[in-house]
Amino acid sequence: MSDNDIPSVIETASEDREGAAIRAEFWLDADVTFLNHGSYGAVPRRVSAAAEIWRQRMERQPVLFFQETLAPGLRDAAGVLAPFLGVQADDLVFVENATSGANAVLRSLRLAPGDTIVGTDHGYGAVRNTARHVAAMAGAALVEAKLPFPGTDPADVVRAIDAAIDGRTRLVVVDHVTSPTALVLPVEDIARLCRRRGVPLLVDGAHAPGMLDLDIAAVGADWYVGNPHKWLFAARGCAALWASPSARGDLHPPVVSHGYGAGYLAEFDWTGTRDCSPYLAVDAALAFYRSLGPARLRARNKALAAEGARIVAGAWQTEVLTPPAMAGSMALVALPFAVEPTREAARALRTQIWHEHRIEVPVMAFGGSCHIRISAQIYNEPADYHRLAEIFRR
């Protein structure tokens, strides 16, 4: 393939295709019922092709690519993605995943013994672990606000975080969409709270780009990190970190390299030799996403996740644990039998469902129980959730 092939792989898709009719756009095996877009996404073939063009361009002259092509290419890619996210290109840098972006912020904190980082018990495990590690190294502590579950309410979330903040709190970190419980948290309200309390805010928005109508600047956080490689269809290993201009002075990437001391963009745009094709091909992902009609796609996926959850919960005679006021394109459904609420037991049940039924769906251990978390994406349809419902029908 040559550079001139790029327009052919980002041509628009037909807006009226969904479910089985658009499944061929993806690499997913035909016999798999895939209800876990939330974990790693699913890359359209045309986006893979666009990324491959960049990889081949790199291989044709690696030195020229890394020394002359890459830096302006990354800024061009940021210029494409930034307006979609509601930010300026010079405020946006690429990182491998949301966890890497969160590590950059957390590891750049200057903590003292007795300081606290406030998170929630619904936070993503890797980011919680990073916060624990950073705090422990400084003699500080991670304090986790306990959010009501089930029956979570947006106002309860804000109150719980407010109660956890004290005079030694140096950072609040929250998920925009929680991984274990599929809740869309009221991040704008949390940001207002943090400004009132004088505490900076990091939002882990791993699931938000593409799932939600996202305007990062309007959220009001100090830092925001999200994964285009989930709901925005980017090639895997594509995440973006936004930092407000006032929150960059001590911010450094987890890997410090030749750009150290040269400024925000210089430090993050070069962290050593790596495959940057997922970043450089983000225009293809955005083109595919836009071809589906962003508002229509988001509304469809949210409605399908709710319908799928009702189908499954109805067959299992259980309940949907995701309140409508906090729902996105995922939903949590209670299992019809008890499972030990451990990570190992949850993984074992997920593995059993996969090997016995060819259904890919995560089992989440949270709140003293295990639950099923379903996703809804353009290639899903109600029949997918009926297949899941049948395996434990009562």
pLDDT tens string 245-274: 999 989 999 998 998 888 999 999 999 999
pLDDT per position as a tens digit, 200-210: 999 999 999 99
Residue 393 is predicted with a pLDDT of: 85
State the chain's mean pLDDT as an integer.
94
Does the structure show a pLDDT above 60 at 3? no
Asked whether the beta carbons of 330 and 375 are under 8 A apart, the reply is yes
Domains 68-286 and 294-391 equal at CATH topology level: no
Asked whether the beta carbons of 111 and 86 are under 8 A apart, the reply is no
Does the structure show a pLDDT above 80 at 4? no
Residue 249 is predicted with a pLDDT of: 87
Cross-strand pairs, 334 = 371
The kind and range of the H/E element at 26 are none
Residues 6+ apart with CB under 8 A from 83: none
Does the structure show a pLDDT above 60 at 80? yes
**What's the CA dihedral at 183, 187, 188, 194 to 10 degrees?**
150
**If pLDDT is split at 50, 70 and 90, which confidence band does 21 have?**
confident
What is the spatial distance between Cα 340 and Cα 382, in angstroms, rounded to a whole number?
29
Does the structure show a pLDDT above 70 at 6? no
pLDDT per position as a tens digit, 325-381: 999 999 999 999 999 999 999 999 999 999 999 999 999 999 999 999 999 999 999
Asked whether the beta carbons of 95 and 105 are under 8 A apart, the reply is no
Domain 294-391's class? alpha beta
The angle formed by the CA atoms of residues 225, 97 and 40, to the nearest 5 degrees, is 115
Mean pLDDT check: name the lowest of 2-16, 70-84, 287-301, 363-377.
2-16
Which CATH number is correct for 68-286, 4.10.520.10, 3.30.1330.200, 1.10.3720.10, 3.40.640.10?
3.40.640.10
Q: Which residue has the tokens 């009001």?
A: 220
In angstroms, the first-to-last Cα distance of the chain is: 53
> What's the DSSP call for residue 94?
E
Cross-strand pairs, 141 = 116
Output the CA–CA distances (angstroms, integers) from residue 4 to 9, 50, 173, in the order listed: 10, 11, 43
Domain-by-domain residue ranges, the chain? 68-286, 294-391
pLDDT per position as a tens digit, 31-73: 999 999 999 999 999 999 999 999 999 999 999 999 999 999 9
For 329-366, b/e burial (b = at least 16 CB within 10 A) is bbbbbbbeeeeeeeeeebeebbeebeeeeebbbbbbbb
80 closest CA partner among 50, 100, 40, 59: 50
Output the CA–CA distances (angstroms, integers) from residue 196 to 109, 114, 191, 199, in the order listed: 20, 22, 9, 8
Residue 86 is predicted with a pLDDT of: 98
